[in-house]
Structure 1
């Protein structure tokens, strides 16, 4: 059985495609790509159809992550049914998701940083209006939190294989 993870930020051009790239890299390295589905989306339609921010692409590439294939999209009603984990980058986007999500699926919504082990911050800051150093800091947070998400999906995959 596949576990599907959706990363969500506001416009789906900085944080969430970066999280998707980091997590996809971890999943591939762990040999779990056949049992884990990954995507990203935005709560707003500002950038639908656009590629990730060039600064996000450059920062990701420096660390060995490929995010150029991502194309911004907005969260759709079907996402709440299809995904097992819907991970928001910050409180504003979590709130927007909670307003859209049907009650039976609210348990799938969480802040991504709740899976972090090294950083205590509750949210991933939006680097859009800052300089390139902000994109590096975002990747620090994403690498930490995505490692925690990897442990969760690895446990799920192991449980399904044993059943």
Structure 2
């Protein structure tokens, strides 16, 4: 059985997409599915390549018992569109950027590009960028990523 694959995307890959990646990996561990998935995250812009996630994102993950997440920022590549089954953006700007990059990407493309929030049962389609806000917004992003990742995993397991 081949592995399923998912790539989480946000502008800088320091707040939302690392939170989503860590949450999804944690859900896979809880369900005993880690050997069935390839999971990663990346940025649409190269502002922070090589750096770690925002300290507030890491603090939020730590507050929820996710103390083992390690990540280095990378920017999306042409190969990602053929490597991953799903590429999730966090907001409409991410989706616009992803579609533009996908059109220009060389090689085959199999990835389905969607908003992660499409799977949020509360109907909050866009996951807001918490970068310029406080810890409460990071917690909101965490909760929305948890709901959305759970919804996606439930739907992909059927």
TM-score normalised by structure 1 residue count: 0.89
2:157 partner SS: helix
CA shift, 1:107, in A, is 6.0
Instruction: Give distance in 2, aligned partners of 1:27 and 1:153.
Output: 12
- Superimposed CA distance per residue, residues 70-102 of structure 1 (whole angstroms, 9 cap, x where no aligned partner): 111000000000000000000001100001114
In structure 1, what is the Cα distance between the partners aligned to 2:73 and 2:29?
Answer: 22
Which deviates further from its counterpart, 10-19 or 104-113? 104-113
* Residue of structure 2 equivalent to 1:160: none
Contact 2:120 2:147 in 1 (8 A): yes
Deviation of 1:66 (Å): 3.7
Structure-2 separation of matches of 1:68 and 1:29: 15
Within 5 Å, give how 1:47-58 maps onto structure 2.
Answer: 47-58=48-59
SS at match of 1:49: coil
How many residues are treated as equivalent by the alignment? 154
Task: Give the structure with the larger helix fraction.
Answer: 1
Deviation at 1:151, TM superposition (A): 1.2
TM-score when scaled to structure 2?
0.92
- Measured in 2, the distance between the counterparts of 1:72 and 1:5 equals 16
Unaligned runs of 5+ in 1: 156-163
CA distance in 1, matches of 2:33, 2:86: 16
Q: Which runs of 5+ in 2 are unaligned?
A: none
Q: Secondary structure at the match of 1:80?
A: helix
Cα RMSD of the aligned pairs, angstroms, is 1.6
Displacement after TM superposition at 1:27 (Å): 0.5
